[in-house]
């Protein structure tokens, strides 16, 4: 990275250039079921959850610390800062791990879950297996998130049939 060309936000490339780079790097998707899919872009955006589904970032030349930087904004901002985008094989491993959880016969599918986040409430379908929760937008079929959860969060989900932080649940359930 060349600090001389860095702007005040730490960006070394324009939003448009970063957007196009991400779009070109992650053009596909993995079909999970007839209704649900995991786009490459969405999986790369949530790859910091990969270790929760037994995908080791070091196996793909990355580190958990590096992947956590994606969480600090967006995949586009991550690219704008000239960070190395995750390898497509790493993305595919995460997608396939989530898919395997979803299609496992012991996985429960719930089609009436509410997902609360900063923009409101989204109707979702959740695939739950043990402590794994994979959440899809019920309307679009796109992945929202997928990871292994703490038992306390799983118990809360089982009781309320809701996902999201208390901050958003409290804001949007009024």
Give the domain CATH number at 88: 3.10.450.200
Which residue's entry shows tokens 């094989």? 89
- How far is the C-alpha of 166 from the C-alpha of 5, rounded, in Å? 41
Domain that holds residue 52: 13-172
* pLDDT at residue number 72: 77
6 within some domain: no
7 within some domain: no
Question: Which three-class secondary structure state does DSSP give residue 41?
Answer: helix
State how many domains the chain has.
1
Return the number of other C-beta atoms located less than 10 Å from residue 25's C-beta.
17
67 within some domain: yes
4 within some domain: no
Q: Which of 22, 71, 42, 52 lies closest to 142, judged by CA?
A: 42
25 within some domain: yes
73 within some domain: yes
8 within some domain: no
Per-residue pLDDT of the chain (174 residues; tens, 9 = 90+): 444 477 777 789 999 999 999 999 999 999 999 999 999 999 999 999 999 999 999 999 999 999 999 987 799 999 999 999 999 999 999 999 999 999 999 999 999 999 999 899 999 999 999 999 999 999 999 999 999 999 999 999 999 999 998 898 889 987
* pLDDT at residue number 3: 44
Whole-structure pTM value:
0.91
* pLDDT at residue number 173: 84
């Amino acid at each position: 990275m060349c600090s001389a060309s860095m702007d005040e936000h730490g960006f070394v490339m324009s939003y448009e250039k970063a957007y196009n780079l991400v779009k070109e790097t992650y053009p596909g998707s993995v079909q999970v079921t007839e209704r649900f899919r995991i786009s490459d872009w969405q999986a790369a955006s949530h790859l910091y959850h990969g270790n929760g589904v037994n995908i080791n970032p070091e196996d793909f030349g990355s580190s958990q610390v590096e992947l956590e930087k994606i969480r600090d904004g967006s995949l586009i901002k991550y690219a704008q800062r000239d960070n190395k985008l995750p390898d497509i094989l790493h993305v595919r491993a995460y997608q396939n791990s989530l898919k395997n959880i979803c299609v496992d016969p012991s996985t429960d599918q719930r089609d009436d879950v509410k997902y609360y986040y900063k923009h409101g409430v989204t109707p979702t379908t959740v695939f739950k297996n043990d402590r794994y929760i994979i959440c899809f937008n019920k309307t679009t079929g796109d992945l929202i998130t997928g990871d292994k959860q703490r038992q306390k969060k799983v118990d809360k989900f089982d009781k309320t049939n809701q996902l999201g932080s208390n901050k958003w649940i409290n804001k949007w359930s009024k």
